Each structure stands twice: as structure tokens, then as C-alpha cells.
Amino acid sequence: MRKTETKRSRNNIILVGFMGTGKTVVGNALARRLGFNYIDTDDIIEKRAGKTIPEIFAEDGEAHFRQLEKKAIRSLSHYDKYVIASGGGAVIFDENIKQMKNAGVVICLSARPEVIYERIKHNTYRPLLRVPDPLQRIKELLAQRQAQYEKADVVIDTSELSVDEVVNSIIAELKNRKPFNELELLDSHHSA
């Protein structure tokens, strides 16, 4: 686990990390534990575009999707007391990282490539993995994004952790950070 400290304007928790690291399942569980709302930037994008993420990729391309993603991330500063899951590639632009850090604490969920592959190999809706060798593509994308993921305030490897263990790790981190240390967080030993 690695940590940095940045000034926050909101009580949000933004989860970043590669697909299959647990952002959605952990985000939902964390929101329930904290009494926060949950939202996924992909849901914001789909609602605004009137299309699914795979449709956007197929019809408009990745570059267009990334522009829609930037707009969704810029809107995060309007949220308060949310757990927000971002798309796996949201960190590729420094502007997005800056916007996320202004909106709350940024927590990167990571996992080993083989673990990610096992978690997502049956998902057919992952546009970037529709390739002959998905595991190799995972390794390539992780290598390309690693430095950006490390700009998060906290990095937690989920490879060997249960959802509750990841949630407990996040809550333990938040208890030492303003403004979260002023909130009444649930006991980190409580299970969802």
C-alpha cells in the first residue's frame, strides 16, 4: 500500500484501476458501509451519450469515448459523499487525475494480470480485450498505465483480498485522512 496527501474539496472516494480489479463491487460495498451514494463514470457517460460503452467504442472510437470520459470526470466536483468508480483508462490523462484529486481521495485498486484475466475472461463487453490474446493485452495496458495508476493517493492490491478486506483497508486509510477522519465511519471490523 502506498499513500500521498492532497488537499480535498469534497468527501468523495474515487476508485481507479484496471478493469477487473474490483472497482464496481468494492465501490458498491464501500458506499453501503459508509452510507455514501455510488456512481460509476461509465454510467454517467452512457446516460449522456445514449449508448453503451461498447457501442461508443464501436461506433465512435476510443478517442471519442475518452473525450466523453473527461467531461464526466470534470463533473465529479459537483458530487459529495459519493464512492465513484472510474473507467480503467481514466487515468491516462493527467487532467483527469487532477480533476479526480480535486473531487476527493483517489484510491487505486490493482491486481496481478493473471488475476485480472481470471476475473474478466468471460465478460464479452470489454472493448479493449476483444483481441486474440487478452492476457497479453492486459499486461501491455497495465504496463502503459502503471505510472498513472501510481499517482493515486492510495494503492491497494486486491489480488488475494476479499471484497470486505478491501473495504476494510480503504476505511482504515480514510480514518487517517481529512476530511474523512471527521466523519463517523463504521467500525472497520464490521462486515457488509
pTM for the model: 0.88
Tens-digit pLDDT profile for residues 76-98 = 988 999 999 998 889 999 999 99
Q: Taking 80 as the threshold, does the pLDDT of residue 178 lie above it?
A: no
Using alpha carbons, select from 13, 5, 1 the residue that is nearest to residue 105. 13
Specify the higher pLDDT residue, 8 or 159: 159
- Unique residue bearing C-alpha cell 453501503: 32
Mean pLDDT of 24-34: 97
Q: Taking 90 as the threshold, does the pLDDT of residue 185 lie above it?
A: no
- pLDDT confidence of 11, banded at 50, 70, 90? confident
Mean pLDDT of 117-142: 86
Give me the pLDDT at residue 7, please.
45
Please give the CATH number for the structural domain made up of 2-182: 3.40.50.300
DSSP per residue, the chain: -EE-----SSS-EEEE--TTSSHHHHHHHHHHHHT-EEEEHHHHHHHHHTS-HHHHHHHH-HHHHHHHHHHHHHGGGG--SEEEEPPTTGGGSHHHHHHHHHHSEEEEEE--HHHHHHHHTT-S--GGG-SS-HHHHHHHHHHHHHHHHTTSSEEEE-TT--HHHHHHHHHHHHTTSTTGGGS-PPPTT---
- pLDDT confidence of 126, banded at 50, 70, 90? confident
